[in-house]
Amino acid sequence: MPATVLEDPLGIAAVFSDGTSVSMMVNVTAGGKTYATRNPALAQEMLLGLADLVHPRTAT
């Protein structure tokens, strides 16, 4: 499955051919602090480009 850009919250998700999945959000809270992008439009464009680079492959 190719990667999918998530809209709210902004992030990316993918399921790989071995069944593992991952999702990463742009804005995160860690250690009591919130880390957010200053330019959400640019972040979304970069995620769209990244999603285009993720291709399904056959497990070997």
pLDDT per residue over 3-58, tens digit each? 899 998 899 999 888 889 999 999 988 889 988 888 999 999 999 999 988 876 65
**pTM of the model as a whole:** 0.76
Ordered alpha helix ranges (H), the chain: 40-53
pLDDT for residue 57: 61
Contacts of 9 (CB under 8 A, 6+ apart): 25, 26, 27
User: Strands, E, within 1-60: which ranges?
Assistant: 4-6, 11-15, 21-25, 28-30, 33-35
Q: Are 44 and 8 in contact (CB under 8 A)?
A: no
Determine the pLDDT at residue 7.
Answer: 92
Q: Is residue 2's pLDDT more than 80?
A: no
User: Residue 58: its pLDDT value, please?
Assistant: 56
- On the question of pLDDT at 59 being above 60, the answer is no
